């Protein structure tokens, strides 16, 4: 079995201005990223016949939904044959896997996929719903958490992290090494939000948010948009870039969609998604040249490292102790751009973007020195996860 018969490829990427409180709307940022991606691919908007986005027009406050597929379609007058968005998907890149399936099955030829956020500006302008304010009652997925003071993903993920640490002896210092690695890489990324070096004392000394997670275990809200063009393989010749194959992908969720009922609290949906991804390829974890792994919270990255098979379950602490292994010049560089903890919460798509940057050798100062051909991308955490293997051809 292969993922969509290897018929979907990535042909272009684009990112908007990224920053804290830059005072631009989410739609404006989405359009900027989209224009850059279409241009980067060597396409025109007349070629775009599909649009995909996360999360779509859901009722969310605080700049979480920068733009919908219709916003972008309407702004550019796109005539599309297919579009999709949705929050009920496998990690933030779930709709991107749908886009790959759409081009593979002939429903579209070139799909513009994007994610736009303007959380920093929205929150600064007071548009974030205070948790105790607008919402009179906790409903939906919040019904069984907010009444107990479990307000933030930091709380829900903190519980997972605590149980893992209890079972396997993972320490805050070991997680800190991963965070510091990301910050070191961000220092080479001109678009990163936080670029100053971080020491272990900085990390351990920062205020606690929800034990064992401290301030630097939590990503940074920002404004920015990312766009990716997914094309049918046959339509990718003659464009600007040699296409990046979507070698494999995984989107499985094997258990209930909750944050607290998973049978094994030391795993997450990342494990389900990764298992199903490896079923669609002959490649193995040892073939991966580098990885971009979601770090909305630092602990989620440790889950991806294990889920994707870069170390045995229960051994991520030992993996993290071998810092040389995952530095930019190491055997398996992780998050060359700095991840969301340092480069900003572009919310999933940023990791896919960085994987493409590196495979196309457009990384500038942060370009991985060795030749890279295979990238692993893992997005999401808790009950929502999706992952991909990208392969450079030529």
Partner 1 sequence: MSNQSGRMLPEVTAESRDFWTGGFEDELRIYRCRACRGWIHPPVGACWRCHSRDVGPEVASGTGKVAAYTVNHHQWFPAFPPPYVIAAVELDDQPDVRLTTCLVECDVDAVEVGMAVEVVFDKQDDVALPFFRPVTK
Q: Indicate whether 139 belongs to the interface with partner 1 (CB under 8 A).
A: yes
Q: Which is nearer to partner 1, 136 or 369 (CB)?
A: 136
Q: Indicate whether 252 belongs to the interface with partner 1 (CB under 8 A).
A: no
Give the CA distances from residue 245 to residues 23, 77, 234, 236, 341, in Å, rounded to whole numbers and listed in that order: 36, 29, 12, 11, 28
Task: Tell me if 175 sits within 8 A of 298, measured CB to CB.
Answer: yes
Residue with tokens 């550019």: 76
Burial group, residue 193, by CB count within 10 angstroms (0-12, 13-18, 19+): buried
Candidates 137, 196, 237, 371; binder of partner 1 (CB under 8 A) is 137
Length of the chain: 394
Q: Indicate whether 59 belongs to the interface with partner 1 (CB under 8 A).
A: no
Q: Indicate whether 282 belongs to the interface with partner 1 (CB under 8 A).
A: no
Task: Tell me if 266 sits within 8 A of 167, measured CB to CB.
Answer: yes
Candidates 60, 131, 204, 254; binder of partner 1 (CB under 8 A) is 131
Q: How many residues bind partner 1 (CB under 8 A)?
A: 42
Q: Indicate whether 58 belongs to the interface with partner 1 (CB under 8 A).
A: no
Q: Indicate whether 129 belongs to the interface with partner 1 (CB under 8 A).
A: no
Q: Indicate whether 209 belongs to the interface with partner 1 (CB under 8 A).
A: yes
User: DSSP class of residue 19?
Assistant: B
Q: Which of residues 141-200 bind partner 1 (CB under 8 A)?
A: 143-152, 154-156, 158-163, 166
Instruction: Give the distance, in angstroms, between the CA of residue 305 and the centroid of all CA atoms in the same chain.
Output: 14
Candidates 136, 238, 282, 369; binder of partner 1 (CB under 8 A) is 136
Q: Indicate whether 21 belongs to the interface with partner 1 (CB under 8 A).
A: no
Residue with tokens 């190491």: 330
Q: Indicate whether 268 belongs to the interface with partner 1 (CB under 8 A).
A: no
Burial group, residue 134, by CB count within 10 angstroms (0-12, 13-18, 19+): exposed
Q: Which of residues 221-250 bind partner 1 (CB under 8 A)?
A: none
- Quick one: tokens of 312? 């045995």
Q: Which is nearer to partner 1, 152 or 242 (CB)?
A: 152
- Residues in contact with partner 1 by the rule CB under 8 A: 131-133, 135-139, 143-152, 154-156, 158-163, 166, 207-213, 256, 258-261, 263, 265
């Amino acid at each position: 079995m292969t993922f969509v018969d290897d018929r979907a490829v990535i042909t272009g990427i684009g990112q908007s201005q990224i920053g804290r409180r830059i005072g631009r709307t989410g739609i404006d940022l989405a359009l900027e990223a989209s224009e850059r991606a279409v241009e980067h691919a060597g396409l025109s908007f007349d070629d775009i016949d599909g649009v995909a986005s996360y999360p779509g027009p859901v009722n969310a406050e605080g700049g979480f939904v920068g733009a919908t597929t219709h916003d972008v379609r309407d702004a550019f007058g796109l005539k599309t044959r297919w579009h999709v968005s949705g929050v009920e998907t496998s990690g933030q890149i779930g709709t991107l896997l749908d886009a790959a399936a759409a081009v593979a099955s002939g429903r579209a030829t070139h799909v513009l996929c994007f994610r736009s956020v303007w959380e920093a500006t929205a929150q600064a302008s007071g548009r974030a719903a205070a948790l105790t304010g607008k919402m009179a009652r906790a409903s939906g997925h919040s019904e069984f958490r907010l009444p107990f003071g479990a307000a933030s993903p930091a709380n829900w993920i903190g519980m997972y992290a605590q149980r893992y640490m209890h079972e396997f002896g993972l320490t805050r210092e070991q997680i800190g090494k991963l965070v510091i690695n990301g910050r070191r890489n961000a220092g080479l990324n001109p678009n990163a939000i936080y670029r100053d070096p971080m020491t272990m004392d900085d990390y351990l000394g920062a205020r606690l948010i929800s034990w064992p997670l401290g301030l630097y275990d939590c990503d940074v809200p920002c404004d920015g948009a990312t766009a990716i063009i997914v094309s049918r393989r046959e339509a990718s010749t003659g464009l600007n870039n040699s296409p990046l194959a979507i070698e494999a992908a995984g989107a499985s969720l094997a258990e209930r969609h909750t944050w607290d009922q998973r049978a094994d609290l030391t795993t997450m949906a990342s494990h389900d998604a990764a298992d199903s991804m490896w079923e669609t390829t002959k490649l193995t974890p040892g073939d991966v040249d580098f990885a971009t792994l979601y770090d909305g919270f630092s602990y989620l990255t440790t889950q991806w490292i294990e889920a994707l098979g870069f170390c045995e379950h229960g051994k991520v602490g030992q993996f993290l102790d071998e810092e040389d292994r995952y530095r930019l010049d190491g055997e398996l560089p992780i998050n060359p751009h700095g991840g969301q903890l340092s480069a900003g919460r572009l919310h999933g798509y940023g990791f896919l973007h960085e994987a493409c940057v590196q495979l196309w050798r457009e990384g500038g100062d942060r370009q991985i020195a060795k030749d890279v051909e295979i990238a692993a991308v893992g997005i999401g955490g808790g009950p929502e996860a999706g992952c991909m293997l990208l392969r450079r051809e030529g």
